Amino acid sequence: MIKKDVIIIGGGAAGFFAAINIAENNPQLQVAILERAKEGLAKVKVSGGGRCNVTHAEFMPSELIKNYPRGEKELLGPFHKFMTGDTIAWFEERGVELKIEDDGRMFPVSNSSQTIIDCFLSEAQKHGVDVLYNQPVKSIEKEGDAFVIQTSDNRFTSYKILVATGSNPKIWKILEGLGHSVSEPVPSLFTFNIKDERIQDIPGVVALNVEVKVLGTNLWSEGPLLITHWGMSAPSILKLSAFGALELAKRDYKFLIEINFIRQSSEAALDVLKDLKQTMPKKTVFKSTQFDLPKRLWHKLVLASEMSETTRWADLNKMQLEALAKQLTSAVFNVDGKSTFKEEFVTAGGVNLKEVNFKTFESKYVENLYFAGEVLNIDAVTGGFNFQNAWTGAFIAARDIAKSV
């Protein structure tokens, strides 16, 4: 039996952040991380295309919480205690400078996730955190005041544990055995698979500001849209996938979306098209890209509106004008399946939020059991928000653990 004061289960972002802060706040404590793999921080390594999207430059808690389809209400209080600015300061105090990109995402100035990994490993070593790899947890039991944790080849005992295992079904099963309930996990961040002539052969085209609705629901979003080899991606689609995670799973990822490519009404678009018919009658519609749309997308929408490449503005009839206005403002696409968004493995689901005290991130059911990160039923849209949830929960839990052991 290996005895520790505090055991962190999971050697990812939340686990390391919690362990370091516990050990720093109370150097007397023996703190250990149990990681099932042969090395930790795997998600940190691949995040942001290997650059690590540490957080997002949103400094108002009331605005930040809007990026969490699950956890919005619960995170408001915690974000008042440890926020984006605190994350930036924490890393800068340890020699890691962050930068803000145009879309608000924040990365280390080095543009390498290894900078974050090296910082965590160095801080863990500096503060005497015992990091144990190849230690998949098989069971957690409460014996008196202590927890007994069985891994594949060791038994550990500790008075306090923090679970930071992310989306791990085996750990969720163990937590159910301790009395917690778990919301069924479904994918959260994903792109839409669409086969349609209007987007065929134009991967890489970006419409900068669209509105997307899922027909038959109240789901909608806005922002950039990227056409890919398989369908559609970028923030407008990813936000829909996150906020619609449960509803779209129910539909087995088969549904219709309606896209307004120009963020105008059909009537307003029709008026503009009628004016163009008068002002440039001899020009072809195909070569007269309008509404700041990408040229290749304009070509596709024109051809989908009962026109050819040689159709002139002067020759447009009422039906063709209305068809083009409809393609621009309410184009319907059939979604048939999903694809993973890069390496962003984000899951909706986890420990029921009603069972957690968000002042400390401690279980309401099991004394001295804490949580941080995606093991809880909290997830966010892409852009550094999932990491901010990890840092905030880990920091607040660490502070409570360090003062009360």
Backbone φ and ψ of 177, nearest 5°: -65, -25
For the chain, percent of residues with pLDDT exceeding 90: 96
For the chain, percent of residues with pLDDT exceeding 70: 99
Nearest to 228 by CA among 328, 102, 348, 333: 333
Residue 233's pLDDT is: 95
Residue 404's pLDDT is: 72
Beta strands 130-132; 31-34: pairing state: parallel
Give me the residues of the chain with pLDDT under 50, please: none
- The span from the CA of 296 to the CA of 198, in Å, is 10
> CB 28: neighbour CB atoms within 10 A?
8
Structure confidence by residue, pLDDT tens digits, 242-301 = 999 999 999 999 999 999 999 999 999 999 999 999 999 999 999 999 999 999 999 999
- pTM for the model: 0.93
Residue 405's pLDDT is: 60
Contact (Cβ atoms closer than 8 angstroms) between residue 24 and residue 70: no
Contact (Cβ atoms closer than 8 angstroms) between residue 280 and residue 310: no
Residue 340's pLDDT is: 83
Structure confidence by residue, pLDDT tens digits, 294-347 = 999 999 999 999 999 999 999 999 999 999 999 999 999 999 999 987 655 688
Query: Distance from CA of residue 201 to its chain's centroid?
Result: 28
